[in-house]
Chains A and B, each alone.
Chain A
Amino acid sequence: DGGITQSPKYLFRKEGQNVTLSCEQNLNHDAMYWYRQDPGQGLRLIYYSQIVNDFQKGDIAEGYSVSREKKESFPLTVTSAQKNPTAFYLCASSIVQGWETQYFGPGTRLLVL
């Protein structure tokens, strides 16, 4: 079955530590996205990528970094500079051309120890 996988489901970060969230898709989509979800604030865009080896900052990119070395993969690193990382992180993908639906993964919940 085609879809988006995110791992791990839960992730714990110690203070000063960088952690990486995985996102993989087998939908053959060109575009991929990372969102952060906090209670009562909807989804906010962190980074997005329309093509391999290219990505753009979203609305809340500070303290995060990404890479897009393969079409299928778009990992997100939460760096120690992100002072409030506790949130639910959602990865999505879509066909670039046109205004197609974004398909979402199951999410990763990041907690700070």
Chain B
Amino acid sequence: AQSVTQLGSHVSVSEGALVLLRCNYSSSVPPYLFWYVQYPNQGLQLLLKYTSAATLVKGINGFEAEFKKSETSFHLTKPSAHMSDAAEYFCAVSDLQGAQKLVFGQGTRLTINP
């Protein structure tokens, strides 16, 4: 069964600093991996997804993530944080077996300090 672990339920960075949100997954078959963002009291919006093409995936709002099979990781980064990046971020994994079910991590709340 798939699982996702997001290291750090809260991350705080200064405006302009590097953002690094960690995600490790467990899957018995090649995974599809997703990062979603959620602003307060809203639904989730896709930031980016990995579907076995390029290992470095670029998403919206300047975010990118790198798939590292040897480390079973899919960490999310952004070179320079902006105040508008403050939100909750979820990593999710799916695979090619059965129905397309996403398994979500517990989320990381990102705070940006001015």
Identify B99's interface contact among A43, A44, A56, A98, CB under 8 A.
Answer: A56
Stretch at the interface among A14-22, A64-72, A77-85, A102-110: A102-110
Contact indicator per residue, chain A 29-44, by CB within 8 Å of chain B (1) or not (0): 0010000000011111
- Asked, given contacts A42-B107, A43-B90, whether A102 binds B102 with beta carbons under 8 Å apart, the answer is yes
List 8 A-B pairs, minimum CB-CB distance, nearest first.
A104-B43, A42-B106, A42-B104, A104-B44, A43-B104, A99-B32, A106-B43, A101-B46
* Chain B residues near A96 (CB-CB < 8 A): 100
**Consensus secondary structure, chain B interface:** loop
A100 to B100, CA, bound (A): 8
Contact indicator per residue, chain B 41-61, by CB within 8 Å of chain A (1) or not (0): 111111001010000000000
Does A74 touch B at the CB level, under 8 Å?
A: no
A98 to B43, CA, bound (A): 23
Does B14 touch A at the CB level, under 8 Å?
A: no
Least distance between A63 CB and chain B CB atoms (Å): 20
Q: How large is the interface on A (under 10, 10 to 19, 20 to 34, 35 or more residues)?
A: 20 to 34
A4 to B3, CA, bound (A): 27
B interface size (C-beta, 8 A): 24
20 A-B pairs with CB atoms under 8 Å apart are: A4-B43, A31-B99, A40-B106, A42-B105, A42-B107, A43-B104, A45-B101, A88-B41, A90-B44, A98-B100, A99-B32, A99-B100, A101-B34, A101-B46, A101-B49, A102-B102, A104-B44, A107-B41, A107-B43, A109-B41
Does A25 touch B at the CB level, under 8 Å?
A: no
A58 to B41, CA, bound (A): 23
* Chain B residues near A58 (CB-CB < 8 A): 101
A104 to B42, CA, bound (A): 9
* Chain A residues near B111 (CB-CB < 8 A): none
